[in-house]
Amino acid sequence: MFNIIFWGILIFVLYRVYTSYKRFQQVYYNQAQFKNMDITKEAIQASELGLFTALCAKVAKADGRIDELEAELIGNMFNDISKVFPEPQKVKDYLKEIFAEEKQRPRNVDSVVSQLYVLIHRDKAKRQMMMSFLINIAFVDGKVTAAEENILTKIAAFLHFSSPEFEAMMNQFQSHFSGVQTHSSLSESYKTLGASKEDDLKTIKKKYRALVKKYHPDIIQAQGADEHYIDDAMQKTQKINEAYEVIKKQKQS
């Protein structure tokens, strides 16, 4: 009797571990979803990933500039998104065009996010993931400006997040961001980037970009079971960025 109970408990535990793992590996998009899609700029622009790209452009440009880390994260996002479409290079080029155009159109946020909500309103986890990525873009340069917070507040409302839900997301990022102000020493910075003092700035930048690519939050395959996935990724990229800035300042002085 004891053995039956033991094996029953073990099988139950293994099942729970397996199902948790599957949730952790939640895939929001895959190639099968887009395999029959005609690849035109208009089609990409009207898709949920094209609309999301447009919102990223508006948040990134809300403070008037796009810094180096923001550019790296957005470039990696283009790589992630384009992989699930046929003709990925063509899609990537279209995404870059959409981003460049939409960052110059600050007044159509309501229209873009309304179209996006129609496409993803049934999937709150996907909306949460997208909202978190947008908040990440705002936080990643070290501070959130009033303009960035205003546009995020508007997007959250159109994606049907309540004020307490949005405030909780912002507070979570704020608390995690505060925790990564490590003020790395020069030696710690080299260690973080896996670089040496003999490396030139070009070599160090290659290592920096590789690490940002490795740790950036992937919006295609987001780890759905872990609610801290994107802000954990932000912590890693912030630490990498701080190390790079410390070394760059020393190399350029």
Give 75's pLDDT tier (boundaries 50, 70, 90).
Answer: very high
Is residue 240's pLDDT more than 60? yes
| Final residue of a structural domain among 178, 195, 222 | 178
The verdict on residue 22 lying in a domain is no
| Final residue of a structural domain among 127, 158, 178 | 178
The verdict on residue 23 lying in a domain is no
Residue-level pLDDT at 59: 96
Residue-level pLDDT at 21: 30
Is residue 124's pLDDT more than 50? yes
Q: Do 136 and 75 belong to one domain?
A: yes
The token pair at 19 is 């199902």
The verdict on residue 142 lying in a domain is yes
Computed on alpha carbons and rounded to an integer, the radius of gyration of the chain in Å comes to 20
The token pair at 168 is 């909780």
Question: Residue 119 burial by CB count (10 A; 0-12/13-18/19+): exposed, middle or buried?
Answer: middle
Q: Do 53 and 141 belong to one domain?
A: yes
Residue-level pLDDT at 123: 92
Residue 204 sits in a domain whose CATH number is 1.10.287.110
- Specify the number of domains making up the chain: 2
Residue-level pLDDT at 58: 97
DSSP string, 21-74: HHHHT--S--HHHHTT----HHHHHHSHHHHHHHHHHHHHHTTS---HHHHHHH
Question: Residue 76 burial by CB count (10 A; 0-12/13-18/19+): exposed, middle or buried?
Answer: buried
The verdict on residue 7 lying in a domain is no
Within 13 Å of residue 217, how many CA atoms lie on the same side as its CB? 26
What is the reported pTM?
0.81
Residue numbers of the domain that contains 109: 37-178
Q: Do 117 and 193 belong to one domain?
A: no
The verdict on residue 11 lying in a domain is no
The verdict on residue 166 lying in a domain is yes
The verdict on residue 101 lying in a domain is yes
Q: What percent of the chain has pLDDT over 70?
A: 81
More confident residue, 230 or 59: 59
Is residue 115's pLDDT more than 90? yes
Q: Do 89 and 208 belong to one domain?
A: no
Region 72-81: mean pLDDT is 92
3-state secondary structure 172-186: HHHHHHHCCCCCCCH
Distance CA(8)–CA(247), nearest Å, equals 56
Lowest mean pLDDT among 7-21, 100-114, 167-181, 186-200: 7-21
Q: Nearest Cα to 94, choosing from 135, 53, 129, 149?
A: 53
Lowest mean pLDDT among 106-110, 192-196, 222-226, 242-246: 222-226
Residue 108 sits in a domain whose CATH number is 1.10.3680
Q: Do 103 and 56 belong to one domain?
A: yes
Q: For all residues of the chain together, what is the average pLDDT?
A: 84
Terminal-residue alpha carbon distance, the chain: 75
The verdict on residue 3 lying in a domain is no
Q: Are 70 and 241 in contact (CB under 8 A)?
A: no
- Give tens-digit pLDDT for 31-65: 888 999 999 999 999 999 999 999 999 999 999 98
Q: Do 233 and 112 belong to one domain?
A: no
- Give tens-digit pLDDT for 128-159: 889 988 998 898 877 899 999 999 999 999 99
- Give tens-digit pLDDT for 173-224: 887 666 555 557 888 999 999 999 999 999 999 999 999 988 887 777 654 4
Q: Do 162 and 47 belong to one domain?
A: yes
Give 4's pLDDT tier (boundaries 50, 70, 90).
Answer: low
Q: Do 92 and 142 belong to one domain?
A: yes
| Final residue of a structural domain among 178, 195, 225 | 178
Q: Nearest Cα to 23, choosing from 221, 231, 234?
A: 221
Q: Do 146 and 232 belong to one domain?
A: no
Q: Do 43 and 90 belong to one domain?
A: yes
Q: Do 46 and 98 belong to one domain?
A: yes
Q: Do 164 and 190 belong to one domain?
A: no
Is residue 70's pLDDT more than 70? yes
